[in-house]
Chains A and B, each alone.
Chain A
């Protein structure tokens, strides 16, 4: 089983739609969780951290379910500019090092 798994998509949604991505992780000792956004042929950029109680940033809502070991990202009122690949990132402490594992990403295409 992969350490971090995501549905690769693509998710094709019309403008204004709500879309949700899930990401599962295998290591129950994982400590921190993030969503990054990566545009085509560009570097990943931090979208938001994921907190235990869930958190919201504008149209974006992230949630964590430790019992089931998954995190989710909800995007409301999708914009064309939201088209990108969304990477799930999980961090755990391994010895003295913070091991960071990236998912392969979920591709979102917002259609006019």
Chain B
């Protein structure tokens, strides 16, 4: 099956710990994105990558880091510098020049 997978679905961490969220796609898409969604707010872009080994900060990159070593994978690390990490994290991808973004099922991170 083609698609985007994110793991885990739910994640609990203690304050001060770094945590890495996984995002994998087998759609052969060039571009990948990380968003954060908080209750009552729209999706906010954290980081995006248009090609392997390249990525750019989005609107709220502080406290996050990413890597894009493989086309299929775009992991997001939530560092201890992120002040309000509890949120729903969504990964998306899109083909080259394509308008449409397709989303993974999301990871719900709770920092205790």
Q: Hey, which bits of chain A sit against chain B, CB under 8 A?
A: 4, 8, 32, 34, 41-46, 49, 87, 91, 96-98, 100-105
Q: Are B100 and A45 neighbours in the complex by a CB distance under 8 Å?
A: no
Q: Give the CA-CA distance A72 to B41 in the complex, in Å.
A: 20
Q: Which residues of A contact B103 (CB under 8 A)?
A: 43-45
Q: Are A8 and B100 neighbours in the complex by a CB distance under 8 Å?
A: no
Q: Are A42 and B42 neighbours in the complex by a CB distance under 8 Å?
A: no
Residue B50 lies at the interface, judged by CB distance under 8 Å to chain A: yes
Q: Give the CA-CA distance A4 to B43 in the complex, in Å.
A: 11
Q: Which residues of B contact A44 (CB under 8 A)?
A: 43, 90, 103
Starting from the known contacts A46-B100, A101-B42, 6 additional A-B residue pairs (CB-CB under 8 Å) come to: A42-B105, A42-B106, A97-B56, A100-B33, A104-B41, A104-B42
Q: Are B90 and A4 neighbours in the complex by a CB distance under 8 Å?
A: no
Prevailing SS type, chain B contact patch: strand
- Residues 72-112 of B, flagged 1 when their CB comes within 8 A of A and 0 if not, give 00000000000000001010001000011111111010000
Q: Give the CA-CA distance A50 to B46 in the complex, in Å.
A: 26
Q: Give the CA-CA distance A45 to B3 in the complex, in Å.
A: 12
Q: Are B40 and A32 neighbours in the complex by a CB distance under 8 Å?
A: no
Residue B48 lies at the interface, judged by CB distance under 8 Å to chain A: yes
Q: Name the residue in B42, B90, B104 with the highest tally of chain A Cβ atoms < 10 Å from its Cβ.
A: B42
- Residues 52-67 of B, flagged 1 when their CB comes within 8 A of A and 0 if not, give 0000100000000000
Residue of B nearest to A88 (CB): B42
